[in-house]
Amino acid sequence: MMRLQAVIFDLDGTLIDSMLLWRQVDTDFLAERGIAVPDDLFEHIPAGNSFINTAQYFQDRFHLSDSVDAIMKQWTRMVSHHYAHSVKLKPGARELLECLNQQGIRIGLGTSNSLELATIVLTATGIWDYFQTAITGCMELRGKPFPDIYLKAAEVLEVEPGHCLVIEDTLSGVMAGKNAGMNVFAIRDEDSQPEWEKIEAIADRMFDDFFQIRQILVSSDLSPIAGIDSFTPGALRESAPT
């Protein structure tokens, strides 16, 4: 029986439109050290790789004298202003969060990003208070596609994995959710377009935006009351967006 009790969101590329910003940060970070960005750089940084592991990758690949901690701190400084002032929510994200909140669905964050940056951007966009937990890439957990981040979020939310829905934008993130034994909705982000076909093959469903997801959930038996094992018309009630 699939009784929806919790929804766990990825952050970058899912809730917020930030993937191009991170590519620019990587470019600027290397340029400061006189290093040109290799053509294959982004192919070798798996989407969903943890904040710590990505910093370790940069240190090793480019033989940097900076410590892993120093690399993460510089990335945080470079990104924090944008997260506080210019990064936007994906269309329909706020409305979906409000709908879930009104239905008593528990809400978690499962991100490879740092807690500091997640707090900055979710506070700046006014949605931080919707989340009961935030599991991040600075914790001692394996990164996506391993299921650790999502399993930890479910544990903190006190919800069995089979009653959780993950919303993700990348192949590694979708795999992490499925590896955790959870239902997974994928949302299209232009940065992951080369993986869309593979994502669609693995995810339970794929959507263009959160408005579509909200419509499906509103018309589906996924409320904590319903106790239905498929996405069929039913019980999650409509709630007015704010």
Distance between CA 177 and CA 21 in Å, rounded?
25
Find the mean pLDDT for residues 45-53. 71
Phi, psi of 33, rounded to the nearest 5 degrees: -105, 10
pTM for the model: 0.82
- Has residue 25 got a pLDDT over 50? yes
pLDDT value for 241: 30
Find the mean pLDDT for residues 130-143. 90
Phi, psi of 211, rounded to the nearest 5 degrees: -60, -40
Q: What is the pLDDT of residues 199-210, one digit of tens each?
A: 999 999 999 999
Q: What is the pLDDT of residues 91-132, one digit of tens each?
A: 999 999 999 999 999 999 999 898 999 999 999 999 999 999
Protein fold of 6-17+88-218: Rossmann fold (3.40.50)
pLDDT value for 158: 98
Neighbouring-strand partners of residue 168: 186
pLDDT value for 232: 33
